[in-house]
Structure 1
């Protein structure tokens, strides 16, 4: 009963999507020529064969494509362009609220400071939003408008080769212990984004920690997350993607996480490394209970996890099934639209097909995405927006002759 056409018509969210992992290939090729970034191929077919593949051997191969996408995002015009295109790619498949995340210090250079980077991304997103929402007004449509927020990512780990900014900070602190340096860079970013948010009004709604997880603990960045927490900014943390339950626990207790990015190994007892945890089953059970009670939302990325875990034979084996059985709060996201050849409609359809979701399940997941989003405006406005989403979902149920499902409160 739940068709792809129905899902495409539904209002949706994407709360976990990386700007630099979601470019259009023709745009990447054009910008690479413009900015003199060398690509292994200058055709879409060639890049899909060599870089942006249908499947990847491991995480390193999956991440290889970012060398090229990040390479072209060193100019305000490029950042505005890819942001504008990403917003329209989402709008055109029914996404009505998204939070685009990116590590702005990867784009900072001698010609573009942090505020320039943030402003350029916002400019592209805002232009798409204005065009679409103005069209709705002109057509007197009852379709929900498009809204968005920006999430800035600190890096768990970096080297001077990551970007000109990271080169400079590495050179300026040559004798600082590496893990302390990572925390220092995160704290500087935290201070900057709070100041820019407050001075400019840019819709910077969240702070994230991304990058290599194993061997680079969240606690190194505690001071940065304490700072944004004290300044009323929401937090989402990549955790449980390449490490296990302990990493997720640390994201919650040390970094005040409001949401967890991926959480893929949340239920994997074999990924618990601390020798002091003797009863691993009890540790996982208690952690899951805490997450469920707290309604901490997990940003699940099915296709991305398939791409980065060679041991995952089928999406049907993804721990999302157990997360739903445990009644955890989850939302389905793309992670990287280009790298994983996906979009929100496809992620939801995969979940329907492999986990037997009913319309009630699907509605709960979608509505949770809107409720748990870090909406950039007043909470009262958020409630009005969510109610409009629920009403429009009901209209799509009638249009596609789907039995109307109630909205789950939990």
Structure 2
């Protein structure tokens, strides 16, 4: 198995297609934003927050998700939001990441009582990302053609569940307004509002909202319930990814593809666990998984792989080599290495690649394929022809880097 150095991994072109803005703040910036916005944190030091909230290991998904109450609290402020987006792009650029798709749930941040609406939130995020992109693309290395330029897209997350209080001011108000509706109807209505607003801003104001995601608690809130929401995205050329096969098995992935037209799958590792299949009609579970994996591979539906995050939220995976990434490679599925949450998982794209390459057999050709999927399976905001051109540019750069390190 070839060993890839940290320097080579840092220098090669990379992407991150599964990157939550609210899980990827700089800790010192979080402290600064909290002071500015009068938000109380459990500690006002980086060391204290690492000990109390943002850990290397979590007991369960609940403890992992607990981190977001603090990040979302400071992001209900356009100035903080723009800063977070700008710094996230800079942090990616610093480790050789050329393309990012930043995702978040705008409705977790809306606070109409303070005049913060959907449009303002989207503009703040876009302004931060655009500023970082323009600065990077004006550097000599990019202008001279030594390095590929930096681009980004924004993915908006609908929440597959939220309660009637505590999730965000927007969701609390929505439940109050629609108190005679069944909770699931309120949840679906919020998702439909999000997808309509996303298409309006993309088409009307040119904000590069490139995709729709469905995030939040998977078990009990199947993707199929959001079929109409995904149909609207599909009919308006908004690309589609879903968190699926994370806390729920192969059926969740099947539903994402067949009912929600998924172009990519977020996580997907539990689709290879027969014990997680619940449908009694599926008698031969291994065959079902094999057929599903074969279909995904054949259709080139990419899986956004987040190794560290999966280790932290799934106590069943005690060793990285137990991760179903191996099964994905064996089935020749298009896999893209992603971070999920840079702060909450204490990781970077380079660290995720290192973890994958140190523990799984990935020859250089397969590595180049994985890097290629990150660009080719992206929801790039330009045309298909422009995307192909950009991917080609990044892969030619990969070859130059591989040559420099003696791989070619």
Matched-pair contact (CA < 8 Å) for 1:12–1:96: yes
How many equivalent pairs are there?
403
Question: 1:356 offset after TM fit, Å?
Answer: 2.5
Answering whether residue 397 of structure 2 is matched by residue 395 of structure 1, we say: no
Picking from 94, 97, 121, the partner of 1:117 is: 121
Answering whether residue 326 of structure 2 is matched by residue 324 of structure 1, we say: no
Answering whether residue 376 of structure 2 is matched by residue 374 of structure 1, we say: no
Show the counterpart of 2:280: 275
Counterpart Cα distance in 1 of 2:11 and 2:269: 28
For residues 1-400 of structure 1, the aligned pairs below 5 Å read: 1-110=3-112, 111-136=115-140, 140-159=144-163, 160-400=165-405
Deviations 1:16-60 (A, max 9, x none): 000000000000001111111111110000000010111111111
Matched-pair contact (CA < 8 Å) for 1:2–1:359: no
Question: 1:15 offset after TM fit, Å?
Answer: 0.1
Matched-pair contact (CA < 8 Å) for 1:24–1:338: yes
Counterpart Cα distance in 2 of 1:232 and 1:53: 39
Matched-pair contact (CA < 8 Å) for 2:137–2:149: yes
SS in structure 2 of the partner of residue 161 of structure 1 = coil
Deviations 1:161-181 (A, max 9, x none): 211110111111112111122
Matched-pair contact (CA < 8 Å) for 1:190–1:228: yes
Runs (4 or more) in structure 1 with deviation over 4 Å come to: none
Counterpart Cα distance in 2 of 1:383 and 1:226: 26
TM-score, normalised by the number of residues in structure 2:
0.97
Question: 1:130 offset after TM fit, Å?
Answer: 0.3
RMSD value over aligned CA atoms? 1.0
Question: 1:137 offset after TM fit, Å?
Answer: 6.5
Distance 1:139 1:233, change over 3 A: closer
SS in structure 2 of the partner of residue 303 of structure 1 = helix
SS in structure 2 of the partner of residue 238 of structure 1 = strand
Structure 2 gaps of 5+ residues are none
TM-score, normalised by the number of residues in structure 1:
0.97
Matched-pair contact (CA < 8 Å) for 2:142–2:149: no
Matched-pair contact (CA < 8 Å) for 1:182–1:221: no
Distance 1:138 1:243, change over 3 A: closer
SS in structure 2 of the partner of residue 266 of structure 1 = helix
Matched-pair contact (CA < 8 Å) for 1:236–1:260: yes
Question: 1:140 offset after TM fit, Å?
Answer: 2.3
Show the counterpart of 1:407: none
SS in structure 1 of the partner of residue 166 of structure 2 = helix
Deviations 1:223-275 (A, max 9, x none): 11110100011000000100000111111111110000000101111111112
Matched-pair contact (CA < 8 Å) for 2:311–2:320: yes
Counterpart Cα distance in 2 of 1:317 and 1:136: 44
Stretch of structure 1 that moved more, 3-12 or 351-360? 351-360
